[in-house]
Amino acid sequence: MLRLWRWFSFRHLRSYKGRALLCLLGVALGVAVFIGIKTAASSAMSSFQATVTSLAGTAELQVIGQGTGFPEGLYATVVSADGVRAATPVLEFNVLAAPPLDEPLLMLGIDVFSDQEFRQYQFIESEQTSGAILSFLTEPGAVALTEKFAERHGLNLNDQLEIFAGSKRLTFTLRTLLKLKGPARALEGNVALVDIATAQEAFDRIGRLDRIDLLLEEKTSTKMVVEDLRKLLPADVRVEEPNQRLGRIQEMVDAYRLNLLALSLIALFVGIFLIFNAVAFAVSKRRFEIAMLRVLGTQRWQILGLFLGEALIVGLLGAILGVGLGLVMAKLALKAMAQTISELYLLVRAETLTLSPLVILLGTGPALGVALLGGLVPSLEASRTLPKEALYRGTLERRLHMNIGKVSLVGGVVLALGYLCSQQPPVDGLPIFGFVAAFLILAGFSFLAPASVLLVNRVLAPVLARTFKLEGQMASRYLGRSLNRSAVAIASLMTALAMLISISILILSFRQTVVVWTEQIIAADIYISPAGRITGQRGGLPSKLVDSLPQLPGVTAVERLTETPIRIGEVVALLDATDLVVKEKFGRIMYRRGSSRDIMRRCREQGQVSISEVLSNRLGLGEGDTIEIPTPKGVESLVIAGVFYDYRTEGGMVIMDQSTYRRYWPEDRRYTSVALYLDSNADPEEVRAQIRRNLDQSQEVFITSNRELRREILRIFDQTFSITYALQIIAIVVAIFGIVNTLILLVRERERDIGVLKAVGATNRQVQRMTVLEAGLMGFISFVLGTVNGILLSLLLIFVINKQSFGWTIQFSIPPGMLGKTLILVLVCSVLAGIAPARAAVSKKVSEVMRLE
Amino acid sequence: MIELESLTKTYTLGRQRIVAVSDVSLRIRPGEFTAIMGKSGCGKTTLLSLMGGLDRPDSGHIRVNGQDITQLADQELTRYRRDQVGIIFQFFNLIPILTVAENVALPYSLQGKSSADIWERVQALLRDVDLLERREHYPHEISGGEMQRVAIARALINRPRLVLADEPTGNLDSRTGHQVMEIMAELSDRHKTTFILATHSEEAASYAGRRLLMRDGSIRSVEESQEGT
């Protein structure tokens, strides 16, 4: 067997490098996406884990506040609780180092004395820094940075570090450098240490803490300490073990990852067709060789092994290439992944990739499976071919023609199974059955491809014959006759197109929904927010500024907003407290049911709340239900007045009136953003300039116009989906190459026919036009089938997969412009794909072909 | 009138140079039925290819009614094949995706003419070869002899001056071969078309008015027959 492979398979692969490379690319793409996404996700996770564990140090339990934290008086309560051996207070801020540094920093306010038992900071000792540690404690503006961060930005001791904390611009002096060890490793070294008193003062948090880390006495039950502490602490303060944070983030990353993984499976799916094509090509090309081998006594299983072996070699090489590509892709996806984690949980800065052998195995395994699956049918055909039969071409074609009924029946059954799967509920919040249904739809359509090609071809045949005369007629007939080749190429392009069309419909429908939504809800003329607005930033706007706004000329109304993350059960959501009286009059919230004015009035007058659709789905709560919200005053049960559409967060939102918020969060005096409604004749630019003039030197805010904010939302939206577009384009290019591949194969099989045509007077141009027309026809039929398939898939994506994983309502719409553009793209690409085979078709002299006789 | 003058054609096979046609000079009169005989590899098919404009000689000239086809550009040569030559192959070489009638009409259709224009002629030719009933059949639905008769009809559709037949009976049993030769001889006579036949069958050659014997690329003897057409 080995000798057979060496003599036949390797030599053939060497002679048809281009074709082998194409298959290799198809498989590599699938593997790359799989490994890329998995590796990026696990790298982001491990970076997150490293941050969490290095920041937690030796802490066994953490008391964590939300929003603006909790009063420092609780520290005494916690320290004196049973079972607590040691405690240290912490303030945590995500700040933005001012330009030109422009990087996020995690600023930790610590109590150096009590902290020592928890974390081992290593300071760089030098003459210059002697006494630095001391000054770190005594000097109010002192900060310690990691050596890595300082080096990257050329910062030396005693240099100034400017940061944005909310709308404040703060200046610190670099007094000490930290080695990149222990807690300083968090966020890849983007850590700044200050004394806790300095932090409280600088960030207007006097008397408040974010976290208390705890060490427990030996032989104490952690569970009991947690229970005791919960009794002593307000409802919005959590007690948990450091690694509990990891479990929650894992779930979120899983949901995000699943969508991209589905994409990688589709790419692998295209790979199956490519391999099928390549092996079918090899079988056709080597009919004579198979026959001779069979005549010489080679067993059927050996022939099967020979061709399957070739498919496996291609699969294996594709997998190896895929691993390399995957790592490049992981590097690119890592940033996006880290950003998603940062948005909801903790600022994460992931730079290094974590390689897992298991992921690589999981990625390459399916590639080999794909290779086997793609190679199986043509290899089986090769092995079953009688020596006599192998001398004639067309045996495969006749077989497939006879089996069209059966193949279509299988397609129908697979589609029916797909429908059943789409009706199933999610598994652990994940749309597992939805993805199975997507796969079954793609598979079902592929099985239906031969029959559909015949059908569409029959409809198009008269049009082609009328428009393109004999060339059109022959292109259409040839296509119908070479179904076993053309249907596979068409199915492969159809799959890639279905993927492009379905995801485009999803994205464009989603985008259209968001556009309508932003037009309705972004009703104010100007929005003001703190300049240091980065993930997890909890700073507010200067109160003097907020108070001055109603008096500004041209301002009709001011809507103040306080945004704070809250935990409801296991769900992290955003709480938006707003001036509903203003919103009711000037703005809008899109509710899924009921009158918006009425709901807002109930929220204002009766202390009810509105929740977003996503949160409603996650918690299983709707209008009229009560929602339990942890507040500093205890867990409050509030009535849900309405459920509104919102596309800002994956976690969901709660909206309440400012008066309700102040009742439960009396300590929080922040306004995290403000919306201004102007007179109809006011000049927004003038108002903007006036606001700027009212600011102190040390304050920095973002002032955004209505239009800019809408544009920014759409920019972020488009950016989020850019990676998907790139992947789809690659899949289509690979599938188009599949058409080139198939046509070259078909031209080779029709060499004699082409010779006859030329012998009886066909010009080269006529033969070329025939081939190019056939390519265009294949592209067109792929488009028709891909569109039907894509629309079905998009319905599944929007109404099943999206609903189950995110719960957003997306208004389904098919953008005709997108379909038109796709059709042009496909026709242009497939006609271009026909050019090389068309050249090949006329490259041989008629006499050379005829001499075969 | 077809005139071949010092025609030579060589092929390179790997590192070996093969002389397929060597310095052949010949005249064939209009309407003549000529058979070129010889063993496999003697150069018969190559000679036919050169006369049919399927290939170009290395040296020498081929004049068909005074026009030197060796000097024609590719497009003109295609036109020559389409308008003046009909070819009949040993393996029939019908286009499998076209029906019998469409195969016959093919050279006409290649000129962009609609089938309506030529339908009458296709019908007449199919009647001549006794296949009118089978006009809607596809090649795989008819027998070898029938396929060759379709090929004869196709070769005559353009009213060519010259029909070249390469071993037309080589793939048929002797009875069918005989029928096919009868039809060819009769049509050649009726349409006053020059027929050149390459064959190694004595029986097939017996229908020809003149027989040329080829060996190693050259014509060794010429034999005129009174019985032939």
Phi, psi of B60 (to 5 degrees): 100, 175
| Contact (Cβ atoms closer than 8 angstroms) between residue A528 and residue A702 | yes
A752 close contact with B: CB closer than 8 A = yes
Distance from CA of A330 to the nearest CA of B (A): 50
Q: Which of A643, A677, A699 is the last residue of a domain?
A: A699
Give the Cα separation of A648 and A526 in Å (integer): 19
Give the Cα separation of A382 and A399 in Å (integer): 12
Chain A CB contacts of B69 under 8 Å are none
| Strands, E assignment, A392-551 | 526-530
Question: Which among A488, A103, A99 has a CA at the least distance from the CA of A272?
Answer: A488
Domain identity same for A317 and A263:
yes
SS3 A429: coil
Least confident of A105-119, A131-145, A334-348, A489-503: A334-348
Tokens of A43: 């790298």
Determine, for residues A763 and B81 on separate chains, whether the beta-carbon distance falls below 8 Å: no
Domain identity same for A8 and A100:
no
Question: Which among A48, A24, A44 has a CA at the least distance from the CA of A36?
Answer: A44
Among the partner-chain residues B55, B81, B97, the one whose CB lies closest to the CB of A761 is: B81
Domain identity same for A353 and A452:
no
Which of A466, A478, A750, A850 to probe the B interface (max B CBs under 10 A)?
A: A850
**CATH number of the CATH domain containing B64:** 3.40.50.300
Tokens of A519: 């037009």
Residues 6+ apart with CB under 8 A from A614: A646, A649, A650, A651, A652, A653, A806, A807, A808
Among the partner-chain residues A481, A758, A850, the one whose CB lies closest to the CB of B96 is: A481
Q: Which range, A126-130, A287-291, A346-350, B189-193, has the best average confidence (pLDDT)? A: B189-193
Tokens of B186: 């009769």
Confidence (pLDDT) at A365: 80
Q: What is the pLDDT of residues A535-577, one digit of tens each?
A: 455 677 888 888 989 998 989 999 999 988 888 877 878 899 9
Distance from CA of A489 to the nearest CA of B (A): 20
Determine, for residues A850 and B49 on separate chains, whether the beta-carbon distance falls below 8 Å: yes
Q: Which of A210, A241, A272 is the last residue of a domain?
A: A241
Chain A CB contacts of B87 under 8 Å are 759-760
Domain identity same for A150 and A255:
no
A764 close contact with B: CB closer than 8 A = yes
pLDDT interval class at A367 (50, 70, 90): confident
Determine, for residues A760 and B87 on separate chains, whether the beta-carbon distance falls below 8 Å: yes
pLDDT (mean) for A15-30: 73
Distance from CA of B95 to the nearest CA of A (A): 6
pLDDT (mean) for A805-819: 82
Determine, for residues B106 and A469 on separate chains, whether the beta-carbon distance falls below 8 Å: no
Question: Which among A361, A489, A432, A502 has a CA at the least distance from the CA of A31?
Answer: A361
Q: Which of A392, A423, A446 is the last residue of a domain?
A: A392
Chain B CB contacts of A774 under 8 Å are none
In this prediction the ipTM stands at: 0.77
For residue A22, give the amino acid letter: L
Domain identity same for A661 and A735:
no
Give the Cα separation of A171 and A717 in Å (integer): 34
Which of B56, B103, B110, B159 to probe the A interface (max A CBs under 10 A)?
A: B110
Domain identity same for A200 and A267:
no
Domain identity same for A107 and A223:
yes
Least confident of A483-492, A506-515, B56-65, B133-142: A483-492
Domain membership of residue B226 (yes or no) is: no
Domain membership of residue B185 (yes or no) is: yes
Residues 6+ apart with CB under 8 A from A590: A517, A520, A521, A596, A644, A645
Confidence (pLDDT) at B223: 77
Which of B58, B62, B87, B95 to probe the A interface (max A CBs under 10 A)?
A: B95
SS3 B168: coil
pLDDT interval class at A830 (50, 70, 90): confident
Helix (H) or strand (E) holding B12: strand B2-13
pLDDT interval class at A380 (50, 70, 90): confident
pLDDT (mean) for A305-318: 83
Domain membership of residue B227 (yes or no) is: no
- The rounded Cα A639 to chain-centroid distance in angstroms is 34
% of chain A beyond a pLDDT of 90: 15
Domain identity same for A371 and A509:
no
Axis crossing angle, helix A244-285 with helix A432-481, rounded to the nearest 10: 20
Domain identity same for A591 and A715:
no
Confidence (pLDDT) at B228: 42
| Contact (Cβ atoms closer than 8 angstroms) between residue A845 and residue B55 | yes
Among the partner-chain residues A478, A760, A763, the one whose CB lies closest to the CB of B75 is: A763
Give the Cα separation of A527 and A371 in Å (integer): 55
Question: Which among A444, A438, A497 has a CA at the least distance from the CA of A731?
Answer: A497
Q: Which range, A38-52, A261-275, A326-340, B133-147, has the best average confidence (pLDDT)? A: B133-147
Confidence (pLDDT) at A601: 93
Confidence (pLDDT) at A722: 66
Pick the residue with more confidence: A291 or B93? B93
Domain identity same for A518 and A398:
yes
Domain membership of residue B212 (yes or no) is: yes
Least confident of A42-56, A356-370, A384-398: A384-398
Distance from CA of A469 to the nearest CA of B (A): 7
Determine, for residues B106 and A757 on separate chains, whether the beta-carbon distance falls below 8 Å: yes
Question: Which among B114, B117, B186, B125 has a CA at the least distance from the CA of B151?
Answer: B125
Q: What is the pLDDT of residues A30-69, one digit of tens each?
A: 778 777 777 877 777 777 777 777 777 888 889 988 777 8
| Domain extent at residue A671 | 532-699
Axis crossing angle, helix A816-843 with helix A483-521, rounded to the nearest 10: 150
How many domains would you assign to chain B? Answer: 1
Domain membership of residue B126 (yes or no) is: yes
| Domain extent at residue B183 | 2-221
Confidence (pLDDT) at A521: 79
User: Buried b / exposed e across A146-173, counting CB within 10 Å, b at 16+?
Assistant: bbbbbeeeebebeeebebbbbbbbbebe
β-sheet bridge partners, residue A610: A642, A655
Determine, for residues B54 and A847 on separate chains, whether the beta-carbon distance falls below 8 Å: yes
Helix (H) or strand (E) holding B162: strand B162-166
Domain membership of residue B192 (yes or no) is: yes
A755 close contact with B: CB closer than 8 A = yes
Confidence (pLDDT) at A757: 85
Domain membership of residue B228 (yes or no) is: no
Cα torsion through A631, A632, A633, A639, rounded to 10 = -10
Q: What is the pLDDT of residues B23-43, one digit of tens each?
A: 999 999 888 899 999 888 888
pLDDT above 60: residue A101: yes
B83 close contact with A: CB closer than 8 A = yes
How many domains would you assign to chain A? Answer: 4
User: B60: how many CB neighbours lie within 10 A of its CB?
Assistant: 17
In angstroms, the first-to-last Cα distance of chain A is: 34
User: A7: how many CB neighbours lie within 10 A of its CB?
Assistant: 11
Determine, for residues B106 and A481 on separate chains, whether the beta-carbon distance falls below 8 Å: no
Helix (H) or strand (E) holding A703: strand A701-705
% of chain A beyond a pLDDT of 70: 82
Domain identity same for A757 and A638:
no
Name the DSSP class of A215.
E
Question: Which among B187, B229, B178, B193 has a CA at the least distance from the CA of B208?
Answer: B229
Residues 6+ apart with CB under 8 A from A620: none
Least confident of A260-264, A299-303, A559-563, A757-761: A260-264
Chain B CB contacts of A759 under 8 Å are 52, 54, 81, 87, 93
Pick the residue with more confidence: A656 or A760? A656
pLDDT (mean) for A495-510: 83
Domain identity same for A70 and A202:
yes
pLDDT (mean) for A579-589: 88
- Kindly report the three-state secondary structure assignment for every residue of A619-655: HCCCCCCEEEEEECCEEEEEEEEEEECCCCCCCCEEE
B158 close contact with A: CB closer than 8 A = yes
Give the Cα separation of A773 and A768 in Å (integer): 8
